[in-house]
Amino acid sequence: MKRAPSATVRREIIRACKRLDAKGLLAGAEGNVSARLAANRIAVTPAGRCKADLSVRELVETTLDGRPVSGLTSPSSELPMHLAVYRARPDVGAVVHAHPVAATGFAVAQNPLPQAALAEAAGVLGPVPLVPFRAPGSAGLGLVVAKALKGANVALLANHGAVAVGPTIDVALQRMESLEQAARIVVAARILGGERNLKTADLRALQRAWLAGA
């Protein structure tokens, strides 16, 4: 896929950070966003900065093995997870990690998001693996997330949060928003007596649609 110019990608990262903050999918300095640039480099959000206040010049550029190329501050502590995903998925152009309340609720409860109840989840979002807990920022977290995302575009991180990937920032962001929306809908359904599953034939058709578009 042809990549957008680096300056455009950097602006898109900042826009994504502001949207994640405005929608309450993270709070303060939580979460991190990155995107591929040309020449096997990525731009990633810096450590410890409030996502709502971030500016383009604060983004950190690194190589795919994590060596800093430019940037005034340290990269996100979750850089190893982002790099592991880019190495495992050459098609991925952007990685979004956040702590959306309902989706993270499922992750904290270590309760998988049901796959057979919601058409959007089955046909658009696709599989939502629940990745076992590894310390935030560790190489071990990167390994389990990269492995889970070989067959999925979103994942729940046990006792931690959620991650979404896509060919572009916009697609990764939409997937994070859809993951949170699906989690909220399931919580609402459970308040109303619990979800009822789709018929098997309908579920299969939706899963085929996801595979065709994934």
> Segment contacting Zn ion (CB under 5 A): 2-10, 39-47, 143-151, 160-168?
160-168
Contact status: 161 vs Zn ion (CB under 5 A): yes
Tokens of 94: 């952007």
> Segment contacting Zn ion (CB under 5 A): 35-43, 156-164, 169-177, 198-206?
156-164
Contact 183, 189 (CB under 8 A): no
CA-wise closest residue to 132 among 147, 121, 122, 115: 147
CA distance 188 to 205: 25
CA distance 143 to 9: 26
State the minimum distance, in angstroms, from the CB of residue 102 to Zn ion.
16
CA-wise closest residue to 161 among 76, 119, 100, 90: 100
Q: Select the residue whose beta carbon is closest to Zn ion and give its number.
A: 161
Task: CB nearer to Zn ion: give 114 or 161.
Answer: 161
What x-and-dash track marks residues 104-143 binding Zn ion by CB under 5 A? ----------------------------------------
Contact status: 80 vs Zn ion (CB under 5 A): no
Task: CB nearer to Zn ion: give 122 or 162.
Answer: 162
CA distance 54 to 22: 13
Per CB under 5 A, residues contacting Zn ion are 161
